[in-house]
Structure 1
């Protein structure tokens, strides 16, 4: 079974630049809608696949945003930030393998959007995010956005 899936993965057609730009715009829109509590699940494809371009872009954005957040806010080394991000991504992926890939993609988009906003605020010096209160607000914002996105997706699937 694994060999068949791997063979199918290698035989899939490459995606062209216009389709890749559409997928990137969709992922960015899902990120923006997720942190604004605006039903990002409406932009999900009917069946999310791990090897789709949108899922790969969402995964890449998650890794980049989490590493940037750890470097800017956490003061971690690059090696430790990449290792921590890879470990958290792997655990989330293992939990999501049982038919929860659409939820995982929403989670990736929402968390990466919160991480990017936090990193941008910290890098510009607009807000000091080294305090415990600021980090708690960002954590609660991410958790609330993630929870609302998941509830909205579940309610949409019930209809």
Structure 2
């Protein structure tokens, strides 16, 4: 496991997929390397597009190079520079998969795919369905040779669940 100790970000090679343990209150976008903001797709269950845009700007990125699949039960009305899909309820794993697949058309080799909170999917979906979605997302990112960062609050999932997610990825990173 790579553990961040310098207060900076972590890096991935094109096509590399990582299960990332994050503190429950920190946005994983705050620790991405600068190059991630050149071509980034965020499947966000924790941040509205406005918040993602604010973090991108704070990090010096161009919001027009960032896409968001908002995973929320609330209505999302966003009219900004990020490219976004329609919001999808966290219990609608098929809807998430469809929106993710469409958004992947914009991800290039060396781009980044970030799922900001896998735990939310586990709260609303059946575990086996979440694993199938996760495997599909990881496979799609790997096939595009995109870097994948799939964030989880480690202490909020069982060892068995964490192990299954870890098996889909190339490595783990701890930001805690």
TM interval, shorter chain, is under 0.3
Higher strand share: 2
Normalising by structure 1, we get a TM-score of 0.26
Which structure carries more relative contact order (alpha carbon 8 Å, separation 6+)? 2
Higher helix share: 1
Larger Rg: 1 or 2? 1
